Structure 1
Amino acid sequence: MMRWGFVGLLALVACAPESSRQSQSQGQACPGVIAGEVATRQGMDGNEPSREPDDGRTATIIRFRKTGSTRASRVTAAGVDLARDVGAKVSFVYRNIPAVAARVTPEERRALEQSDLVESIEEDQSWSAQGLAPGLLPARVGAVAQGVLPTGEYTEALRMVQAPEVWDADGDGVLDVGAPTGEGVKVCIIDSGLDLGHPELQGAVVASRDFLDGDDDVSDRGEGGKWGLGHGTHVAGIIAARPGQGGVTDPKSHPGGMVGVAPRAPLLIARVLDLQGQTQMSIVFSAMEWCESQGARIVSMSLGGGTPTRSSLEAFKAALDHGMLVVASAGNQGGPVLYPASDPSVVAVGAVDPHERRAGFSCVGADLDLMAPGVDVLSSFPRGMGAFSQMAVSDTEPVSRSLLFSPTGNTAGRLVDCGLGDSLDACKGATCDGFVAYVRPGALPIDLAMSNVMMQGARSVIFGADDGPAGGDVDILALPRRGHWVPAVSVNQATGTMLRQRLGGHAWVNLFPVDYTHSSGTSMSAPFVSGVAALLWSARPELTPLQIRAAMQASARDLGTPGRDPVFGHGLVRAKDALQRLP
């Protein structure tokens, strides 16, 4: 999910069900123009859900009754036989809780409920990614806003959590000998899989499992090789991008790319999110047990949804009792902390911007533990799926940011005011010879505004914010993954004001592919805390998960009301300060 500054908080466009919507506006369209989403046969674009189709069965978690000290695994073994005897389709069998995941018909469910062995039958809830929210263009327009790293590969967000102060105390750009780097501390990322060929992550992954397809290929891809959302690749880079192993960057960035919070931490990759960013609670439970079997000390989950159940409470408690610290994103709805971040056994992480202000989308409440960078975070992205933007209008070269999933390309033409892009006559003075459209996002969905201006001949589109305080932020928006689009960028309010003064002038927009992107969301915040925990454990491997959690909480930078509060929790996680608070 993402924060939409113009149209309210909506689900990520690329994660939402995509229809073959066409503009209903009035006006004239240029002949032969193809614009917007294109109807495709399901599966043609590889973006269908990876879960089982609707077959008349309901996804459930069947709990079996324990007696005395009987181990959960023995109870579950008997329950598996019962479930299969009545015809249930068992998908996962658990060790830590007396339960199985199974798809059942109404008749099979009634038969199971009549058995003395069955304690309860729970709904197998749907959970989803808490990002990838396309990055915000900061009000402080400058080098950092365009992706330049303050020193080498050290991003602004990395410095906010003090990671370089732990493993590069002298600031020479080289890991200090003997410093905590996360080495030997396995971090299990339960997410969408990742681009295994990304240079930043070479040598980082030590084991992997795809819980959707039942194999060891955790590439974030579907049929036909189509990429998913890139969510897991972005998360993995935040935690453990290797120094000096950069991919393709923009001309203004360090050629080494960026470095993660724990640059020597070994990663375990559990793919649970499908190509639309969705999963089931049962799949996450199975992934957690796999993480445990692989020796994980930390589980990083940038996903959530649903409500606690007896099985979920037991599953997360078992993970904690067995030595794993589970870290989860608090959610992007701005309301109460989502589950499972709100689980008492889980560390809930909210988002702050580069100025240490709470991000407006970040969830709040008594369950909030820590805050971490979650606005405009630079990290790895599937190779070539990121886009760096350059723009010139008349005598200026304003800062811009590409829309997530925008096509790349080099375009030029007269800058035309297209208003809200809400009709086929919105672009005043447009011609079918081509132009660059300036659009003020409003209530109309971004994809429909794009379709409207493209039908009038736009070769590229600039989305600008015209309302709000001077220098205010503007969301970088996302385009649907399928369909025909032109290059599109976003600019902040100050730049939008300047562009309106140059309407009619010559504009040039160039987007070219890179291996990184800026993104926002609590999905980005949780891996910062996971990385800090890995640094602490690499310094003191004998400590318990509760001791690691307590050190991060006690050392966090207090950002709100003194002490823990429902807006910032304990405050901003700080790696160096936490090391000094270890028992």
Structure 2
Amino acid sequence: MHPAISRTARLPRAAASALLALVLAASCLGLGLCSAPAAQADEWRDKQYWLAESGITKAWEVSKGAGVKVAVIDSGVDAEHPDLKGAVAGGYDASGSGRPDGQQGVGMKPEHGTLVATMLAGRGHQPASPSPSPSASPTAAPANPAPDGIVGVAPEAQILSVSTWLGSTNPSGKSDQDQIPEAVRWAVDNGARVINISLGSTTPQWPQSWDAAFLYAEQKDVVIVAAAGNRVGGNIQVGAPATIPGVLTVAGLDRQGAASVDASSQGISIGVAAPAENLLGGLPGGGYAEWAGTSGSTPIVAGVAALIRSKWPSMSAEQVINRIVSTAKDAGAPGKDPLYGFGVLNAEAALKDTVPEAAGNPLGSIAEWIRVHRRGNLATPAPLPTTDVPSAVPTLPEATVPAAEPPSQRDSAIGASVVIGFGVLFVAIVGAAAIQLRRAARNPALPGEDADTGATEAVETGPIT
């Protein structure tokens, strides 16, 4: 993820530090883009190392994602790319500044959505047939019958392109606080079984305006996969929406299979890690590019979720996520950790192993989080006006947990990193620290002396080693 570039609509003064500015999660890393127009497409196909190393080619023995729609909430997808012919089943523009079908690149990095979509559900393409020479046999087999180009993790899944304008000023004036919940609701209402969100922010907090949309997706049994973010883009810690409980957050790996120093971040919400360096994807207009970042790790994992949902159509979203994280190869500190989550993605095991049913989503529940952390009432979440969303069906008639109230002047966003049950304690600690800091300012310690500030020891957060 980049550092925050564009501001959202102004929030109350008390929440200024929690201002959420979303950007595409891998722009800076990926856009040294080695797009080499003269290169042959099969040269890019041959470099897709993650297909074998993450167990995806073995997983294809079980499923290739047929019958599953995956929404790509991003900058728009070029459905005319040779490797996406027949893959894009529809779309919607949540930005208010693009084509209504979401198939036009918008925002700061308009090519980003096509990169993501080709990695997720690219079909490849047949090489162009050369003009036959007079001596060529008309019955001779082609030299390379296999498809060229990019083959996605779920090459038989369908893409729904939901375009958002992020990273620069949106001509329509719609902020991420408006676009993201609208995009999530449209995706759910139009049949997405998996949602890929390769974007994020530099804060773990999210606007209260997002609560009802992510709750709606959870209640409608949709898997949401989101990028953890990239250190080189300013994200040492995971930012929203990857901090939302129940979301499957993806960290990044280097070519040696270790946590990437540049193309990843860290945090307690990480669920699984997948390749994030030396990735390849398609560009609008038919080109190809080499890129890096958790923006590319995310469609790898979302693709595996699509394979699972195709193989077991009745399996719940929480069990799909459990199957992915419980079959991951443990890495780093034993057990779940803030660099790898539950471990490194193992697509073959996720499709072939026997996995006990989990009691719930191992990454939590937004419904439970809202119940504990939002001061809500029993009102129904305000539905998105369907006149602005083609083919959308009415939203849930009522929520099963208290819905969020409109943001107050005192509380417009609450961080997902707050541990359930410790909210009051956290506020008390912050207040005490502020008092002690003011006391220290009035009575500074002499060199070599310890000021009685009551401050906790600082923990350095440095590069991953």
Question: Shorter-normalised TM-score: what interval?
Answer: 0.5 to 0.7
Aligned residues: 322
SS at match of 1:287: helix
User: Which residue among 176, 180, 187 is the counterpart of 1:291?
Assistant: 187
Equivalent AA in structure 1 for residue 88 of structure 2: V
User: Which residue among 238, 248, 271 is the counterpart of 2:163?
Assistant: 271
Alignment of 1:375 with 2:259, yes or no, is no
Note if contact 2:72-2:162 (Cα within 8 Å) is conserved in structure 1: yes
Deviation at 1:151, TM superposition (A): 11
Q: 1:374 to 1:152 in 2, by over 3 A?
A: closer
Larger helix fraction of residues: 2
Write out per-residue CA displacement over residues 352-401 of structure 1, whole angstroms, 9 at most, x where no aligned residue. 012101111311121111111111101111226xxxxxxxxxxxxxxxxx
Equivalent AA in structure 2 for residue 264 of structure 1: E
Write out per-residue CA displacement over residues 323-379 of structure 1, whole angstroms, 9 at most, x where no aligned residue. 111111011135221111011121111100121011113111211111111111011
Q: Residue in 1 aligned with 2:399?
A: none
* Separation in 1, partners of 2:354, 2:273: 18
| 1:222-237 equivalence runs, <5 A | 228-237=109-118
Deviation at 1:132, TM superposition (A): 2.4
Q: 1:285 to 1:152 in 2, by over 3 A?
A: closer
* Separation in 1, partners of 2:168, 2:52: 32
Note if contact 1:298-1:324 (Cα within 8 Å) is conserved in structure 2: yes
Q: 1:272 to 1:555 in 2, by over 3 A?
A: same
Q: Residue in 1 aligned with 2:125?
A: 244
* Separation in 2, partners of 1:581, 1:150: 37
Note if contact 2:88-2:159 (Cα within 8 Å) is conserved in structure 1: yes
Equivalent AA in structure 1 for residue 22 of structure 2: W
Deviation at 1:205, TM superposition (A): 0.8
* Separation in 1, partners of 2:281, 2:321: 25
Q: Residue in 2 aligned with 1:521?
A: 293
Equivalent AA in structure 2 for residue 230 of structure 1: E
Q: Residue in 1 aligned with 2:409?
A: none
- Tell me which moved more, 278-287 or 359-368: 278-287
Q: 1:264 to 1:148 in 2, by over 3 A?
A: closer
| 1:61-72 equivalence runs, <5 A | none
User: Which residue among 132, 135, 153 is the counterpart of 1:261?
Assistant: 153
SS at match of 2:215: helix
Write out per-residue CA displacement over residues 235-286 of structure 1, whole angstroms, 9 at most, x where no aligned residue. 0011000043579xxxxxx870120000000111100134749851220100
Note if contact 2:195-2:225 (Cα within 8 Å) is conserved in structure 1: yes
Q: Residue in 2 aligned with 1:542?
A: 314
Alignment of 1:358 with 2:259, yes or no, is yes
SS at match of 1:267: strand
SS at match of 1:257: strand
Equivalent AA in structure 2 for residue 126 of structure 1: A
Q: Residue in 1 aligned with 2:334?
A: 562
| 1:11-410 equivalence runs, <5 A | 58=9, 125-135=20-30, 155-167=48-60, 169=61, 179-213=62-96, 215-221=99-105, 228-245=109-126, 256-274=148-166, 276=168, 280-305=176-201, 306=203, 307-333=205-231, 334-361=235-262, 362-383=264-285
* Separation in 2, partners of 1:135, 1:273: 18
Note if contact 1:130-1:331 (Cα within 8 Å) is conserved in structure 2: yes
Equivalent AA in structure 1 for residue 57 of structure 2: P
Equivalent AA in structure 2 for residue 130 of structure 1: A
* Separation in 1, partners of 2:346, 2:41: 23
SS at match of 2:338: coil
Equivalent AA in structure 2 for residue 162 of structure 1: G
CA RMSD of aligned residues (A): 3.6
SS at match of 1:541: coil
Larger strand fraction of residues: 1
Q: 1:147 to 1:365 in 2, by over 3 A?
A: farther
* Separation in 1, partners of 2:127, 2:176: 34
Equivalent AA in structure 2 for residue 383 of structure 1: G
Equivalent AA in structure 2 for residue 216 of structure 1: P
Q: 1:562 to 1:245 in 2, by over 3 A?
A: farther
SS at match of 2:291: strand
* Separation in 1, partners of 2:40, 2:238: 30
Q: Which structure is larger by alpha-carbon Rg, 1 or 2?
A: 1
Deviation at 1:228, TM superposition (A): 4.5
Write out per-residue CA displacement over residues 62-107 of structure 1, whole angstroms, 9 at most, x where no aligned residue. xxxxxxxxxxxxxxxxxxxxxxxxxxxxxxxxxxxxxxxxxxxx9x
Q: 1:338 to 1:292 in 2, by over 3 A?
A: same
Note if contact 2:91-2:103 (Cα within 8 Å) is conserved in structure 1: no
Deviation at 1:198, TM superposition (A): 0.3
Q: 1:229 to 1:544 in 2, by over 3 A?
A: same
* Separation in 1, partners of 2:127, 2:291: 18
Deviation at 1:213, TM superposition (A): 2.7
* Separation in 1, partners of 2:169, 2:216: 26
TM-score normalised by structure 2 residue count: 0.62
SS at match of 2:306: helix
Q: Residue in 2 aligned with 1:429?
A: none
SS at match of 1:258: strand
Q: 1:147 to 1:377 in 2, by over 3 A?
A: farther
- Tell me which moved more, 182-191 or 125-134: 125-134
Note if contact 1:200-1:246 (Cα within 8 Å) is conserved in structure 2: no
Structure 2's unaligned 5+ residue stretches are 33-38, 129-145, 358-465
Structure 1's unaligned 5+ residue stretches are 3-9, 18-48, 52-57, 61-105, 107-119, 138-145, 170-178, 248-253, 385-514
* Separation in 2, partners of 1:130, 1:571: 21
Deviation at 1:133, TM superposition (A): 3.7
Note if contact 1:371-1:572 (Cα within 8 Å) is conserved in structure 2: yes
Q: 1:151 to 1:360 in 2, by over 3 A?
A: closer
Write out per-residue CA displacement over residues 23-69 of structure 1, whole angstroms, 9 at most, x where no aligned residue. xxxxxxxxxxxxxxxxxxxxxxxxxx9x9xxxxxx567xxxxxxxxx
Q: 1:534 to 1:255 in 2, by over 3 A?
A: closer
* Separation in 2, partners of 1:311, 1:151: 41
SS at match of 1:533: helix
Note if contact 1:191-1:232 (Cα within 8 Å) is conserved in structure 2: yes
